[in-house]
Amino acid sequence: MDMLSQPSINHLPIELLSSILVLWSVVDEDAPWMASCVCHEWRRIVLACPMAWSNVSLILKGPHEPTLEDRAWCIEEEDVEAALSPRDKRRPLDLWFARSCNADLALTILVEQTHPHIEFRIEECIRILECHVNRLRFFSLQVESVYLAESLFSILPRMDLHTLELCIQETSLPRSFRGTHLSAEGYSVPTLWDSVCGARHIEVHGCTPPQRRPEEASKTLALQVTATLVSPRQLASLLADHHNLTLLDVSDIETISGEDAPDGTVALPSL
């Protein structure tokens, strides 16, 4: 068969190609940026598709010393094509939000390593986010300590979310530091609800949601709590607050010893 007569993805209807780009952006934060570099036609289509830009990922890495093998610092002639790849480049957050137009937003913030200058980078991002926070429906925060999560939620703007994901990965911390902030109630982020409201779907890993107002807790329909240390009373209180749950996943939980079990039972009639 003649190469020119073979089917091409560019022969697809624009609506179908746009849908493909949107699905790609869900699983790959670099998708819209890479699509815009394929050809003029793809760039035109992806720039006209706000949903393809609605999954925003902010990855804050620790300080990095460039080496001779680091293409961001030194480009070898035979590696020019790889060096010009749009993948893994720092994205202008304001441009990302602008290209999403009025689409609902999903924002993921991943702090890979805490370092002295991280707070300035975060403050810069929050200033940009404040102009678009009313469109935010999904928010995911992945950090290495409860301390950092608590600090971030205390300065984040108020977010009316559909889904909240919070992941504390303390395995990257020195062993002597882990657990030094453990209270009688277990691992918790007291400032969590200072900036989050709504949140019908909540997933937390490595910590426990603090107590919230009953009218807010009743809106949550799905709750997942994994890999944390919690007191029996706090766990019972957490479940009692979220009495309208239709989906519950509590796994890999350690309870704090030395505390009596709470009195009574917790009823979750919708489960």
HEC profile for 56-121? EEEEECCCCCCCCCCCCCCCCHHHHHHHCCCCCCCCCHHHHHHHCCCCCEEEEEEECCCCCCHHHH
Over residues 79-86, mean pLDDT: 49
What residues contact 194, with CB distance under 8 A and at least 6 apart? 153, 154
Q: Is the pLDDT of residue 82 over 60?
A: no
216's tokens: 């807010």
pLDDT top residue among 82 and 152: 152
What pLDDT shows up at residue 221? 94
Q: In 3D, which of 137, 82, 148 has the Cα closest to residue 112? A: 148
What pLDDT shows up at residue 172? 46
pLDDT top residue among 118 and 24: 24
The pLDDT confidence band at residue 263, using thresholds 50, 70 and 90, is low
Which of 15-29, 51-65, 253-267 bottoms out in mean pLDDT, i.e. has the lowest? 253-267
Q: For residue 255, list its beta bridge partners.
A: 230
The pLDDT confidence band at residue 49, using thresholds 50, 70 and 90, is very high
Q: In 3D, which of 142, 137, 154 has the Cα closest to residue 210? A: 154
pTM above 0.85, yes or no: no
Which of 10-19, 76-85, 140-149, 230-239 bottoms out in mean pLDDT, i.e. has the lowest? 76-85
Mean pLDDT, the chain, integer: 79
Q: What digits encode the pLDDT tens for the residues 91-130?
A: 788 889 999 999 999 999 988 766 666 777 788 888 999 9
What pLDDT shows up at residue 73? 32
What pLDDT shows up at residue 233? 81
Residue 238 three-state SS: helix
